[in-house]
Amino acid sequence: MPELIHPLDAYRAQAQQRMDPAAWAYLNGGAVDELSVQRNTDLFREIRLVPRVGVDVGHLLTSQQMFGIDVAFPLLLAPTALQRLFSDAGEQGTVEGARSTDTVTVISMESSVATRELAESAGPFLQHLYIQRDRKLTEDLVRMAEETGARGIVVTLDNPVPGIRYRQDAGMTALPAGIGRANLESGGVPTLTGGYLDPTVTWADIEWLVSLTDLPVIGKGILHPDDADRAVRAGVGGVIVSNHGGRNIDTVAHPMECVRAVTESVAGRVPVLLDGGIRRGTDILKALALGADAVLIGRPYVWGLAAAGAAGVADVIRILQDEFHAAMAMCGAATLADITPALILGSDQ
Amino acid sequence: MPELIHPLDAYRAQAQQRMDPAAWAYLNGGAVDELSVQRNTDLFREIRLVPRVGVDVGHLLTSQQMFGIDVAFPLLLAPTALQRLFSDAGEQGTVEGARSTDTVTVISMESSVATRELAESAGPFLQHLYIQRDRKLTEDLVRMAEETGARGIVVTLDNPVPGIRYRQDAGMTALPAGIGRANLESGGVPTLTGGYLDPTVTWADIEWLVSLTDLPVIGKGILHPDDADRAVRAGVGGVIVSNHGGRNIDTVAHPMECVRAVTESVAGRVPVLLDGGIRRGTDILKALALGADAVLIGRPYVWGLAAAGAAGVADVIRILQDEFHAAMAMCGAATLADITPALILGSDQ
Amino acid sequence: MPELIHPLDAYRAQAQQRMDPAAWAYLNGGAVDELSVQRNTDLFREIRLVPRVGVDVGHLLTSQQMFGIDVAFPLLLAPTALQRLFSDAGEQGTVEGARSTDTVTVISMESSVATRELAESAGPFLQHLYIQRDRKLTEDLVRMAEETGARGIVVTLDNPVPGIRYRQDAGMTALPAGIGRANLESGGVPTLTGGYLDPTVTWADIEWLVSLTDLPVIGKGILHPDDADRAVRAGVGGVIVSNHGGRNIDTVAHPMECVRAVTESVAGRVPVLLDGGIRRGTDILKALALGADAVLIGRPYVWGLAAAGAAGVADVIRILQDEFHAAMAMCGAATLADITPALILGSDQ
Amino acid sequence: MPELIHPLDAYRAQAQQRMDPAAWAYLNGGAVDELSVQRNTDLFREIRLVPRVGVDVGHLLTSQQMFGIDVAFPLLLAPTALQRLFSDAGEQGTVEGARSTDTVTVISMESSVATRELAESAGPFLQHLYIQRDRKLTEDLVRMAEETGARGIVVTLDNPVPGIRYRQDAGMTALPAGIGRANLESGGVPTLTGGYLDPTVTWADIEWLVSLTDLPVIGKGILHPDDADRAVRAGVGGVIVSNHGGRNIDTVAHPMECVRAVTESVAGRVPVLLDGGIRRGTDILKALALGADAVLIGRPYVWGLAAAGAAGVADVIRILQDEFHAAMAMCGAATLADITPALILGSDQ
């Protein structure tokens, strides 16, 4: 019987073959026992769909406006640090693969290629950052984002201190020569993680960040509905429901366990996105069914990058697009608005 | 300790030995990760029976009228495409095995032996079809069904686009020489799947199909109760609760998770059938307990066909009959009407 | 680390070593896929106890009157057929082991040693029977029970037809020479199972059986509360909640899933017993907590018999007694009346 | 990919290598099938956290007053018997490791080094005891505790009789020469376990114990809320929710399944502690979220002791402190009071 290997898993296997074990552990590992890393993907398998039939799905509409961008497909690339650890092309490959598929990239503050370099070849992108102890450096990053044409700022909220990552620590204690955080060169961040994290950040700091710029500020790493509401009242232009890919605290709730409450709390005031464990087209559809406006992927596009550069990134995105389109058609959803909680078995509404 | 091998699993093993791996993958595989293929059988194992005692079960009555046919036993053969991939006899073996056991076959539109040939040796049968982009070809199929003596039309509703089947695609990209869709010769369907699928089909098309013929039209692939009601209002003469054997969309709801709501929605206006994962006599009894009037099997009879031709098909049916009879007697059900939700642990009614 | 082998599992292993594989399959196998055989033991592991402390458990009272017998410990030996298949001593070993531990045996109608022989060395015992097609033979068995001093009649209700047992059938098609159903010699039962079963038995037949004798008639094989009530109204003197050890119908409810409803339905009119999957002292306590007055064991005592004859039977009983006594003390239950639903996590009452 | 081994598991592995298998079985084994031993750790993995963000967690406050002691971190060392079985240093290593990390030890009545010896080098400690059949000996232990400066008495309530421990019994039947219960030398306890247990202890005896001393008496081994209330009314100064590490009765409820009800029953009158299965910093946080004021660990610190003496004990404590601090920060909890049920997914309050 021909072996069943999902194409994303094939990319994963190729990436692992090409990558240094320490880099692999850094990319794919997570907090403590990595139970949440595993569960992030597993939970989607337990959510069941109740398709509708008798609907004309000859033309599927999947585009929407978000942060002033035409988002053709409800999937963005999540900020992932230090991509030259995984591929010589690094973030350059990512933004090219994204651009060729009309996909919005969130460029990490910790990019190993500077945003100023990436911006030339990138399509529409968002700039990610942490509010650092050095607020001036934080403001510099905002100005850099504005100057390079970023369409928004993604600020991580769920990382006040470094995550405890035993596997990562066992593999890598310092960055290889020549690979660094290009956006922070002046900041002098010597250790692999955490030196720039500020555990004292509060909503007042988010309000300050919002006040700095006309760009929409999108808060990433929210799981509790009250925090989502607080973020909106602080002026954010979007919310990303995320458990940081299971990298920060183990046995954390799954974003899909939180997204409906967050969506109800946000009540349409700003877009709600979700990341964590998205590996199939049906995962995207399920996230949208429970209220997300779009999802982000992280590790999967890096597998594509590591295996085949920009073409690999683009192919990973297309695989998910094909699956999502098939899932929409099979569920009788011709537009994103047709993807409602009623498609999920056991959802009340 | 003598090994425990269920006789259907023995047929499965024999069939696999005899069959080309690509054909085996085509028959037994499904959508994406094949989670629903596996769960279709597994879920039945979790449903528990609460037998009744002190009932005279000396004579079991299992026959009923359905679509104007005397159905001796509440099991039909589901439409399965291209059976000459699995056995030289192809659908000829199936209809002979079915006839020898008084079982109704649903002949697939994609039969590798033409319905016109099969009709001579078949007992009462139903003709399956898709509403194709070419509506004239669809109408031709209805006329062919009428002329060959089909007792009803089974129309697939849950396949607007091809399912994503990675294992199948890895094994077979074109049909072997000499094997084709005999009912569609003039239709020119070059690829293995999907060329004839029309994603624009709506309930209006079902109404059109119903209007074409006096034969009952049975809608296959309904999971949502509102779709069941809509189908009945469109004039169908029966509903088949099905997730297409897990072949179309992965992580889909199990038919047994949907059948009670469908039955309540249909409210006796037309028969309700169920397919997907039926492998034991108790599975049949459980489906009937939750409201189905009969079930269909797919892969199991093809295993019998591949292993032993018509005799294998008949034997598979008889194994399930024996188990179902024993299950009825053990549950204190002397007639089909005695098979109620009260036999299922945790059912309210 | 020293291996952890429960002493009952040690007996099981020894028994398997000494026993013909076909006999082993007959003893330990069950219906169809044997899922219920496995779940019968597994479910007990999922039920959790909430012990009480600060109670004087220096003296544990475990005796009660039942069917006019002083039952020292709430455990009886279930009827098990043809024990000479498992040990040369056969039922003689069982009744001796039972007597040495003050335990009541239910002698099977299908005993391979005649009850008339066993009665001499047995302590208080009950006689098991099926209502056979030949009602005269059934009455003869009742008279035999009376004459040999049986203290009650156990009638199986849940076996109208033979169970489908693929593993058993694969191993043994006829009884070995010299081993037969000693109580039925005149009855001529040629096949291994089922020849004496009558699928037409109704509650009227139970009423007839009750009318034949002053001995209490105990109905075995009840899972539904309405059947328990009907049995009491038919005049039975006891009810055994049982799924026949998973031997008759697969995926049947567990006796522990049914016992509370049965007990509430019986409402103290007659004793309620439970069998199926009892392997630990805590299992006994859990059954009593949910309302059973006593339990029966089957396979475990036969393992003791096969491994070490009467001494093995006695030792199996003592192991369960020791565990039960420890469980009572740990739960703060000094008497059987202290074993209430409140000891089970999640029980309302 | 670098192997993922949690540092506590590394200590476990080192300890096993150094330890006699019988001692290992005694330390790590439990009652009957050891299902509760396993589940004690497993259940924590199923409890999920819903972190809060936007909180200043730059300074974490984890200290509290308990039994008149400044407890810097909400973790104590549970009483563990006969530690010279596991390390030559025995309890001396434990109290030193505890003192170096400002941790309160509960010294077991069955310590293999006398409390009088340990008290010199120990920090603040509690003295554990059983109410023994010889009440005079019990009173002597209270006086010894007072004289050696113990800050409280921990009395075990959940061990009226010895637990049934098949693995332990298979490995060790008597103590090695030179290792004994130093606090009980005059008591003459010849067997490994149980000789000093009194099954007749009732709440009246607890009241008597409370009346003997001005030290707080902490009742250990409570799972039922009514027992917690009864203990408080008997005058205890603290309650430890515990199932005795799964060593006494198998398939017992998990302390985490009982702690909220206990806490509600105690209603703040005395501190509530919890032990059983704590292996990660998130486990501590979860226990506190459901109402515990602190937790105790047993086996893990003994692994540290066996692997590396006092330094190992201290390191095990520090590993859990680091993880707990990270968990607090990640959950947006700056103080112990911020750790509420709202952090647990699915908790109502």
Q: Where are the beta strands (DSSP E) in chain B?
A: 64-66, 69-71, 75-77, 105-107, 125-129, 153-156, 217-222, 238-241, 272-275, 294-297
User: Residue D249 and residue C3: Cβ atoms within 8 Å?
Assistant: no
pLDDT at A251 over 80: yes
Task: Confirm if D112 and D86 have CB atoms less than 8 A apart.
Answer: no
Residue B187 pLDDT grade (very low, low, confident, very high; cuts 50, 70, 90):
low
User: Residue C280 and residue D160: Cβ atoms within 8 Å?
Assistant: no
Helix or strand run (H / E) with residue A147: helix A135-148
Q: Verify C-A touch: 3 or more CB pairs within 8 A.
A: no
Q: Using one digit for the tens of pLDDT, what is the confidence trace for D150-166?
A: 999 999 999 999 999 99
Closest Cα in chain C, distance from residue B42 (Å): 12
Q: Which of D24, D157, D258 sits opposite C53 (nearest CB)?
A: D157
Max CA pair span of chain C: 61
Task: Confirm if C115 and C183 have CB atoms less than 8 A apart.
Answer: yes
The two three-digit tokens of residue B260, written as one number? 């009670």
Rounded CA separation B342/D264 (Å): 39
pLDDT at C191 over 60: no
Residues of chain A with C-beta less than 8 angstroms from the C-beta of D323:
32, 164
Residues of chain A with C-beta less than 8 angstroms from the C-beta of D50:
223-224, 252-253, 258
pLDDT at B52 over 70: yes
Q: Which of D48, D323, D326 sits opposite A252 (nearest CB)?
A: D48
- By the CB < 8 Å criterion, does D10 face chain A? no
Q: Using CB atoms within 10 A of its CB, is residue A121 exposed (0-12), middle (13-18) or buried (19+)?
A: exposed
Write down the ipTM of this complex: 0.96
Rounded CA separation D185/D181 (Å): 6
User: Residue B2 and residue C223: Cβ atoms within 8 Å?
Assistant: no
Helix or strand run (H / E) with residue C217: strand C217-222
The arithmetic mean of pLDDT across residues C274-293, rounded, is: 98
Closest Cα in chain B, distance from residue A88 (Å): 31
Task: Confirm if C248 and C158 have CB atoms less than 8 A apart.
Answer: yes
Window 245-304 of D: residues touching A by CB (8 A cutoff) are: 280-282
Report chain B's mean pLDDT, rounded to a whole number: 95
Residues of chain D with C-beta less than 8 angstroms from the C-beta of A250:
280, 282
**Which of A192-196, B275-279, D32-36 is the least confident region?**
A192-196
- The pLDDT value recorded for residue D348 is 65
pLDDT at A7 over 80: yes
pLDDT at B299 over 90: yes
Rounded CA separation D175/C14 (Å): 31
Residue D174 pLDDT grade (very low, low, confident, very high; cuts 50, 70, 90):
confident
Chain B residue closest to C220 (CA)?
B53
Q: Which of B158, B167, B201 sits opposite A51 (nearest CB)?
A: B158
Q: What is the percentage of chain C residues whose pLDDT exceeds 90? A: 93
**Between C and D, how many CB-CB pairs are < 8 A?**
114
Task: Confirm if B323 and C164 have CB atoms less than 8 A apart.
Answer: yes
Residues of chain C with C-beta less than 8 angstroms from the C-beta of D170:
2-5
Residues of chain C with C-beta less than 8 angstroms from the C-beta of D250:
280, 282
Residues of chain B with C-beta less than 8 angstroms from the C-beta of A50:
223-224, 252-253, 258
The arithmetic mean of pLDDT across residues B192-204, rounded, is: 84
- The pLDDT value recorded for residue A57 is 98
Neighbours of chain C (3+ CB pairs under 8 A): B, D
pLDDT at D173 over 80: no
pLDDT at A11 over 80: yes
Give the best residue of D1, D44, D256 to mutate against chain A (max A CB count within 10 A): D1
Task: Confirm if C342 and C50 have CB atoms less than 8 A apart.
Answer: yes
Query: C64-66 and C69-71 as β-strands: parallel, antiparallel, unpaired?
Result: antiparallel
Which residue's structure tokens are 């999922």? C46
Q: Which residues contact A70 (CB under 8 A, 6 or more apart)?
A: A63
Report chain C's mean pLDDT, rounded to a whole number: 95
Residues of chain D with C-beta less than 8 angstroms from the C-beta of A24:
1
Which residue's structure tokens are 């539904």? C224
Closest Cα in chain B, distance from residue A50 (Å): 6
Task: Confirm if C333 and C58 have CB atoms less than 8 A apart.
Answer: no
Distance of CA B297 to the CA centre of its chain: 5
pLDDT at B49 over 90: yes
Which pTM value belongs to this model? 0.97
Among C280, C325, C50, residue whose Cα is nearest residue D160: C325
Residue B171 pLDDT grade (very low, low, confident, very high; cuts 50, 70, 90):
confident
User: Residue B258 and residue A50: Cβ atoms within 8 Å?
Assistant: yes
- The pLDDT value recorded for residue A174 is 85
Task: Confirm if D339 and D331 have CB atoms less than 8 A apart.
Answer: yes
The two three-digit tokens of residue B94, written as one number? 């199936």
Among C150, C71, C64, residue whose Cα is nearest residue C107: C150
User: Residue C51 and residue D160: Cβ atoms within 8 Å?
Assistant: no
- The pLDDT value recorded for residue B186 is 61
Q: Which of A21, A227, A251 sits opposite D282 (nearest CB)?
A: A251
The two three-digit tokens of residue C86, written as one number? 């498992």
pLDDT at B131 over 60: yes
The two three-digit tokens of residue B1, written as one number? 């300790």
The arithmetic mean of pLDDT across residues D197-209, rounded, is: 97
User: Residue A45 and residue B24: Cβ atoms within 8 Å?
Assistant: no
- By the CB < 8 Å criterion, does A54 face chain B? yes
Window 204-223 of B: residues touching A by CB (8 A cutoff) are: 206, 221-223
Rounded CA separation C161/D204 (Å): 59
- Concatenating the DSSP letter of every residue in A82-101 gives -GGGT-TTTHHHHHHHHHHT
Q: What is the percentage of chain D residues whose pLDDT exceeds 70? A: 97
Q: What is the percentage of chain A residues whose pLDDT exceeds 70? A: 97
Rounded CA separation A7/A40 (Å): 19
Residue C185 pLDDT grade (very low, low, confident, very high; cuts 50, 70, 90):
confident
- By the CB < 8 Å criterion, does B91 face chain A? no
Chain A residue closest to B157 (CA)?
A53
Rounded CA separation D262/B3 (Å): 50
- The pLDDT value recorded for residue D172 is 81
Q: D294: which DSSP letter?
A: E
Task: Confirm if B50 and B255 have CB atoms less than 8 A apart.
Answer: no
Q: Using one digit for the tens of pLDDT, what is the confidence trace for D307-333?
A: 999 999 999 999 999 999 999 999 999
Helix (H, G, I), strand (E, B) or coil at B231: helix
- By the CB < 8 Å criterion, does A191 face chain D? no
Closest Cα in chain A, distance from residue B325 (Å): 32
Which positions of A are annotated as active-site residues?
244
The arithmetic mean of pLDDT across residues A333-340, rounded, is: 98
Q: Which of A157, A254, A258 sits opposite D53 (nearest CB)?
A: A157
The two three-digit tokens of residue A28, written as one number? 């794919």
Residue A171 pLDDT grade (very low, low, confident, very high; cuts 50, 70, 90):
confident
Q: Using one digit for the tens of pLDDT, what is the confidence trace for C160-177?
A: 999 999 999 998 878 898
Which positions of C are annotated as active-site residues?
244
Q: Using CB atoms within 10 A of its CB, is residue C120 exposed (0-12), middle (13-18) or buried (19+)?
A: exposed
- The pLDDT value recorded for residue C186 is 61
User: Residue D2 and residue A171: Cβ atoms within 8 Å?
Assistant: yes
Q: Using one digit for the tens of pLDDT, what is the confidence trace for C86-105?
A: 999 999 999 999 999 999 99
- The pLDDT value recorded for residue D315 is 98
- By the CB < 8 Å criterion, does A34 face chain D? yes
The arithmetic mean of pLDDT across residues A5-22, rounded, is: 97
- Cβ atoms within 10 Å, residue C124: 20
Residues of chain C with C-beta less than 8 angstroms from the C-beta of B332:
160
- By the CB < 8 Å criterion, does B50 face chain C? yes
Rounded CA separation C284/C273 (Å): 11
- By the CB < 8 Å criterion, does D231 face chain C? yes
User: Residue A282 and residue B254: Cβ atoms within 8 Å?
Assistant: no
pLDDT at A282 over 90: yes
D6, D128, D244, D254: the active-site residue: D244
Distance of CA A128 to the CA centre of its chain: 10
Q: Using one digit for the tens of pLDDT, what is the confidence trace for C295-343?
A: 999 999 999 999 999 999 999 999 999 999 999 999 999 999 999 999 9
pLDDT at D248 over 90: yes
- By the CB < 8 Å criterion, does B307 face chain C? no
Closest Cα in chain B, distance from residue C310 (Å): 25
The arithmetic mean of pLDDT across residues D334-343, rounded, is: 98
- By the CB < 8 Å criterion, does D239 face chain C? no
User: Residue B202 and residue A54: Cβ atoms within 8 Å?
Assistant: yes
Distances (CA, A) of C146 to B65, C110, C119, C140: 52, 17, 11, 10
Give the best residue of A3, A4, A5 to mutate against chain B (max B CB count within 10 A): A4
Q: Which residues contact B224 (CB under 8 A, 6 or more apart)?
A: A50, A51, A52, A53, B258, B261, B262
Closest Cα in chain D, distance from residue C91 (Å): 30
- The pLDDT value recorded for residue A194 is 60
Rounded CA separation A181/A189 (Å): 8
